[in-house]
Structure 1
Amino acid sequence: MTNLNMILQFLSLLLFLLMPVSSQPDQLLYDGFKGLGSNNMTLNGVAEIESNGVLKLTNDSSKVIGHAFYPTPFQFKNSSEGKAFSFSTSFALVIVPEFPKLGGHGLAFTIAPTKDLKAHPAQYLGLLDSSDMGKFSNHLFAVEFDTAKDFEFGDINDNHVGIDINSLASNASAPAGYYTGNDDSSKQNLTLQSGNPILAWVDYDASQSVVNVTISASSTKPKRPLLSFHVDLSPIFEKSMYVGFSASTGLLASSHYILGWSFKINGPAPPLDLSSLPQLPGPKKKHTSLIIGVSVSCVVLALCAVLFGIYMYRRHKNADVIEAWELEIGPHRYSYQELKKATKGFKDKQLLGQGGFGSVYKGTLPNSKTQVAVKRISHDSKQGLREFVSEIASIGRLRHRNLVQLLGWCRRRGDLLLVYDFMANGSLDKYLFDEPETILSWEQRFKIIKDVASALLYLHEDYEQVVVHRDVKASNVLLDGELNGRLGDFGLARLYEHGANPSTTRVVGTLGYLAPEVPRTGKATPNSDVFAFGALLLEVASGLRPLEPKALPEDMVLVDCVWNKFKQGRILDMVDPRLNGVFNEREMLMVLKLGLLCSNGAPNARPSMRQVVRFLEGEVGLPDELRKSGDLSYQEGFDEFLHTLEPSSIDQTSTGSYDRNRDMHVSFPSSTDTSLYTLHGKGETR
């Protein structure tokens, strides 16, 4: 009998061990989140549950993250090496941009090995950072609802749904929408940031190894999914994983909401009914209390009126004026007082340098302690406002790792300010010309060249419009703390649609980087940016400026010096002697020859930036022969151009002599009259 009892106890213990652990649930259903505590939902970042039961992942603040995870992990496999279970989830989301059609960046349904994600905001959706992108060790699965097109991740547009595995570069994506039938013509488009509820379903069938993503504007699930992606998630999932949501904002912000959520392991998720879920609160009503003082004397009333008049005058005087164009681009990101405090009152000791049309100051934002660079446009800049608007319009929505990131802007009466990421190592020209304190190695220089080429390729071909920078040069290449090259200063940039012809405009640029055809045609094109990039290649390799007005005629133009050495078979004589002969000869030859190729007098003979990138990456080789072509050769083009410039037109320094270390900017009033011109030194009005 005793033996029988022992056997029964053993069997009972075995059955207990085989039972699922109660701490690992297999489903959940939230018809709203009202009253939920930390035992039901773990919130990080700015995420919060509002009083009406709506889960708010982010607010309309810039560059914030919101995470919301179920606090207990779900079991996705029987063992670490086993087959992943099927799962199904449904949730209702709402995205409300801060300004119509201007939001970012989106939210993602997330399955991760931890609920404490160490991640970046903006395009990273609060999921990963740049150093972890694509690593198998991430064990991350996400379905993104993305409202910003990002070149770095190959996004298809700014309104898409994507399946992400260990990276923000989607394995599969599609423009947001749903199918009412089985054919492609039945697709109905949805705008993710419309402010209306969208119901989403994510289903993984382990037996078929396929992920299906479906969305709809109603509670009825369409029969055809928006996305189907065949993948075995067994290698991606660990035995236990956390399930939840992540969202982030960038320079422009959106409020991201989840109204309800259901989830199920090995079965269909419980259905959600949009009509039974909490709704977003309406706009807050403003109530004005009227307080009547019955015992106030006439003297006090008169004094209050005077004081109120002074207050209103000062408030109006110091107010930030918002004009129509600003509403189209976005809000003031910073107040004037905040930027004034950040730069210690724009003190001279905070001055980083003189930009194209203003001064640049180092600042520390008082709240976040983030270091920034604040460009303050000169009061006496006649084209200041126009160039200010151009810079915002050009880079406000550009996103690329090799562009200087615009963080925000402010305009207060005559003060026009732009706020950027602080570039710890300053501009490239400080490391190339005259007697730099630090000599960049060839490896560092070659990396910077490729960084700038990548940025220009994005501007010319991969952005939704063609962006012509018009002022590519060493002083506009900024270096971050790791000496990565970033192209900045978009005050002269011009945009036009792909396939369209650029319009004739005021000719501007920097002498030595200005393509010969621009003064004759009045049109800046990607080809003219390529010409400037050619000058940049040569100066990075040689440590010489593209134009030395005081040099001997044969040494005045760098491209012609290089060309003459190339014809003599001595092109390596042009290598910067400060490298002390330490460089990759193949790379150096390629850069010098590519500089000549980009500097060709005939615009159509220059390579595109896509071809340039392929050359730099070693995917294709340069032509065996280089030749001058077109109606203007290198020297002839510069000779003709320089012949029109009178010495008296060159800006003088305070001592009355020309400063050879200053850039010379040239502008023409029109494309048809090149006899009238102005030259401006670095920091002068263009």
Structure 2
Amino acid sequence: MEEEYNLQTIVKQKTMTNFCKMLLNISIWALHVKLTFSANEDFSYNGFKGATNLSFDSLAAVTPDGLLSLTNNTTHGKGHAFFSVPIQFKKSLAGNIISFSTLFVFAIVPEYRTFSSDGLAFVLSPSKDLSNAWGESYLGLLNKTNDGKPSNHIFAVEFDTALNPSHEDINDNHVGIDINSLLSNYSTPAGFRSDDDGQLKNLSLKSGEPMQVWIDYNGQNMQFNVTLSPLWMPKPKTALLSATINLSSIILDYMYVGFSASTGMAYAYQCILGWSFKTDGKIPELNISSLPPLPRTTTPSKDKSKDISIWLPLSLSVLVLMAVAAARMIMVRKKKFSELREDWELDFALHRFSYKQLYKATRGFKHEYLLGVGGFGRVYRGVLQDTKVEVAIKRVCHESRQGVREFVAEIVSLGQLQHRNLVPLLGYCRREGELILVYEYMPNKSLDKFLFSDGESTLSWSQRFWIIKGVASGLLYLHEDWERVVIHRDVKASNVLLDGDMNGRLGDFGLARLYDHGGVPQTTHLAGTVGYLAPELSRTCRVTTSSDVFAFGVFLLEVACGRRPIEPEKAEDLQVLIDWVLANWRKGTIMETRDERLGEEYVAEELELVLKLGLLCSHPLPTARPSMRQVTQILHGSIPLPDFLLNQLNTKDSAFVKYEGSNAYVMSFTSMSSDSLVFSGR
């Protein structure tokens, strides 16, 4: 019995010992798994000599100096380097992407600076095996068959040194964000944003100089940032490329992270000098001083002679083909960019733009650059390539050569106007049958878009009153404070543009007339927009500062009432804005004409002042209208409204103040759309 008991005791002890050993093994295994996963979340390489957990294929390798070279002196090749263990990018059942960041230093050392070597990319891929991907313009990421397919689950940031039209590249030196395709979803020229002025400073990706890249993704707000800078500079405060991207359907639970690169007709050493990566946390900094040196591309003299023997015949063949093609294209391009130039225009050379400049600024006057269409032509937004200045380019029909010299002289003179409430006129260009005017671009476009367009946010009364006073100040400058008198001839809401701070700026000087102070303006054919034309113009055809004041009066009523000067679709007594406001004033209900979108958020005294001043400025008698200096003083409260002139307007029996009679010529046009109510002019 005792022996049986001892045997049972021994069995129990052995069983317990084995169980403890099993628990210990499980604990060690779990700790190993945890440590392995932690390594996957956070790694850093200050050079790659003796580096582990990396896998390479094709041309990629680590040099004896510890440089990760994705490509070498091989043309038409590709190379890949990945962290060998997949990284977990989704931790929740909802499938949300966790935040991640990477920092690396790269350099592209080309064989020839004049030939592109295609480029490299940081990539997230479901597989390390990209053997079916093509090199050259596909950067070793995809091929022609699968390019663009959602099943790829490829996400990459490319650093491209080749201009490939089939991928709609913006230039041969850009950074792009690629999702399942080599056609970038977002791209920008390579460079960095200066912390001093926020301006873009260009960087050449194939300069052979090392550069730092920070790539950050915030999983909560889905903000993706790419920041680039020279090696010697700390991380800029503003990212080079920012976008809001939902990666939940693109990135899988586990993905491999790494690099891909390719070469074309010319080779390049596309190198990674150091690399850090981290999920959910601050990324480890690199030790710049410990990074390996870059390779040299100089070759022995015998290799150079071999290169020459290959490249010289090829270059000659290319030159012959280019010469033939150029000969055929010269006539086409000459016609495409032909301009009308005469000897007298030499005096205005500094203010003349070439048609080619403007064509490139608008990418061929594409429809997506169209800002608007008016009675005299189309207006396009553009960016001048040499200065990167945003401009508005107006193409004006111009059929007659009579008076062109005087007109251009006036345009150049108007380019000298300098006032905070005027849109700067930068210059002009002339083609057969067409005149092109170039203005500074106003980002908030025209005032009428806020007053009349559905869906646009309306303006508060304080904004409207500020704009009114600004336009009045600009007109005063034109009429009295500049070296010559300028009659604008087309004052209206659609010609008042809003800058970035919502300041009103009077623009479009295509109809302007100039004369000396004390002089008499010449007669001219009737030109302007129906509804803004002073009644006396139909008889005298002589524009004056008073005719501008009339148009300004209509403009005041536009802004206060939120209505166009003529609306043919309304009842007869409501069609003409001036008549409607005047009738309400005579009934004592002038405040009921205010824009309903203002609600109750307005200053009653200011609004009533603007309505009455609008009626006074659009008085049928030119001599009864105030000057722009008086208008400005009234708006600023320096002088009161002249009651006796207002009382004349309130006298129903006075035929000479009857708007219906003085504007009879206007009503004949009420069947036309308001956008086309423009008389032909120069």
Larger Rg: 2
TM-score when scaled to structure 1? 0.48
Q: Normalised by the size of structure 2, how large is the TM-score?
A: 0.48
Decide which structure has greater helix share: 2
